[in-house]
Amino acid sequence: MSETSQKDHPAQPDIKATRAKMTFGPGEPLTLDCGVQLAPFTIAYETYGTLNADKSNVVLVCHALTLDHHAASQNPVTGKPGWWNSIIGPGLPLDTDRFFIVCQNVIGSCMGTTGPKEINPRTGTAYGLNFPVITIADMVRAQAMCLEQLGIRDLFCVIGGSMGGMQVLQWASAYPERVFSAIPMATAARHSAQNIAFHEVGRQAIMADADWRMGDYIAAGVTPSKGLAVARMAAHITYLSEPALHRKFGRNLQDREKVTFGFDADFQVESYLRYQGSSFVDRFDANSYLYITRAMDYFDLAADHGGVLANAFRNTKTRFCLFSFSSDWLFPTSDNRQIVHALNAAAANVSFVEIETDKGHDAFLLDEPELFATLNGFIGSAARQRGLA
């Protein structure tokens, strides 16, 4: 989710990506949890590798809140390498020589898939707040429609971190017979009160911007840049850890010997945060931020299954491998462990690894050797069980 993640990546060359969009017409609506039939709608996606003859080598990569489908290709907006270049590629855990990897921009986002910044066909102007509120289940339903259109029913693996991990859990719960293996990382089966609170701060920051215009800023030709930047700054702190911030910045001053007794970015950490805020505004839509944070807030897999999380996975045959990161305080190990306990209660096949790192929540995007090795082992073993060469 963070820009740092890109810098900390080993520089992998971008691999061959097929970039595409798929549009569903007025007669092929997406049925949303809120009751709305959304049509038409478009899904932007990328694929890497080759679909095998029996279509048994499909890996679905699910992205986090502010990421996109450019998981292993240069981002056309920022020019940066794919956000999971460290995981996807020849010889890497998601081996493009073996697997057919699909990554779709989620419904409600702003990178090509239909979201609040697209034109509402009923009005001829951008949806804004007329876009229906979407859920994690809606994202997954849209992904399934796109895959079915590609002739794909079954997934060898579905993998993702943070909100991507919520989608993984939703996939395994909603389509258990279609998911051979599932890898939720740095995630939770329900968004916590503290996380809802941080999201609400971000939304209020956007809505407080006079240029938000009740969501109709596109028609007005303005952008709630300041509010969106503040939202990003607050969120960005939660993606890191206190030890990592201390290690990277401490109380170091930014290009100066002494404090200035003013409100400039005297400290490196302030300068860094301001950069995170301002660069985010260049690549993300403020209303999409409202909608996608709301989808995460609403996620509560146990509530959808009579209050018992294990019921979400009853009789599952899916092989699970979960990862948490020791310094992640946004989706702490305890949140991930709750999922493991529910899977155990459902007698599921489950592995769980807590990766020791000081890099916080964003660690799932970074180059963590233990993550890499464990992923390699789990995916290799699952591939053998699936009969993939």
Q: Whose structure tokens read 């180059």? A: 367
Q: Is 264 in the site for a copy of itself (CB under 8 A)?
A: no
Taking CB under 8 A as the criterion, which residues in 302-341 touch a copy of itself? 303, 329, 332
The catalytically annotated residue of 95, 297, 304, 328 is 328
Min CB(305)–a copy of itself separation in Å: 15
Rule CB under 8 A: say whether 269 interacts with a copy of itself: yes
Cβ atoms within 10 Å of 338's Cβ, excluding its own? 15
285's torsion region: left (phi>0), alpha (psi -120 to 50) or beta? beta
Per DSSP, the three-state class of 62 is strand
Q: Which is nearer to a copy of itself, 254 or 351 (CB)?
A: 254
Instruction: Decide whether 200 or 356 has the Cβ nearer to a copy of itself.
Output: 200
Q: Active-site residue among 5, 288, 361, 362?
A: 361
Quickly count: other Cβ atoms within 10 Å of residue 368's Cβ: 20
Residue 18 CB, nearest distance to a copy of itself (Å)? 35
**Do residues 69 and 18 lie in contact, with contact meaning Cβ atoms separated by under 8 Å?**
no
User: Is 222 a residue that touches a copy of itself (CB under 8 A)?
Assistant: no
DSSP codes joined into one string, 69-115: S-SSS--TTT-PPPTTTTTBSTTSSB-TTT-EEEEEPPTT-SSSS--
Task: Pick the closest to residue 93 from 364, 375, 355 (CA basis).
Answer: 375
H/E stretch holding 333 reads helix 333-345
Contact status: 38 vs a copy of itself (CB under 8 A): no
Of 67-75, 118-126, 152-160, 289-297, which segment contacts a copy of itself by CB under 8 A?
Answer: 289-297
Contact assessment for residue 171 and residue 180, using Cβ atoms and an 8 Å cutoff? no
* 40, 26 contact by CB (below 8 A): yes
Closer residue to a copy of itself in complex, CB, 121/250: 250
Q: Is 267 in the site for a copy of itself (CB under 8 A)?
A: yes
Using the rule CB under 8 A, is 31 a contact of a copy of itself? no
361 is catalytic: yes
Options 227, 289, 296, 316; binder of a copy of itself; rule CB under 8 A: 227
The C-alpha atoms of residue 334 and residue 340 are separated, in whole angstroms, by 10
Q: Does 210 bind a copy of itself (CB under 8 A)?
A: yes
Instruction: For the segment 135-194, give every residue that binds a copy of itself (CB under 8 A).
Output: 190-194
Q: Which residue has 């429609």 as its token pair?
A: 145
To the nearest whole angstrom, how small is the minimum distance from the Cβ of residue 138 to a copy of itself? Answer: 10
Contacts of 84 (CB under 8 A, 6+ apart): 61, 71, 72, 94, 365
Cβ at position 386, least distance to a copy of itself in Å? 37
Q: Which stretch binds a copy of itself (CB under 8 A): 84-92, 140-148, 267-275, 362-370?
A: 267-275
In the complex, least distance from residue 277 CB atom to a copy of itself, rounded to whole angstroms = 7
The residue annotated as part of the active site, out of 162, 173, 241, 324, is 162
* Contact of 199 with 205, CB cutoff 8 Å: no
Q: What 8-state DSSP symbol labels residue 313?
A: G
Nearer to a copy of itself, 157 or 269 (CB): 269
Separation of alpha carbons 383 and 157, rounded Å: 9
Tell whether residue 11 is a contact of a copy of itself (CB under 8 A).
Answer: no
CA dist., res. 138 & res. 71, Å (int): 21
Q: Is 162 considered catalytic here?
A: yes
Say whether residue 359 binds a copy of itself (CB under 8 A): no
Give the x/- contact pattern for a copy of itself in 42-81, rule: CB under 8 A. ----------------------------------------
DSSP E strand stretches across the chain: 18-24, 30-31, 37-38, 41-48, 58-62, 100-104, 155-161, 179-185, 319-325, 349-355
Active site residues: 162, 328, 361
| Residue ranges that bind a copy of itself, judged by CB under 8 A | 33-35, 129, 132-133, 190-194, 196-198, 200-201, 203-205, 207-210, 226-227, 229-230, 233-234, 237, 242, 245-246, 248-251, 259, 261-263, 265-267, 269-270, 273-274, 277, 290, 294, 297-298, 300, 303, 329, 332
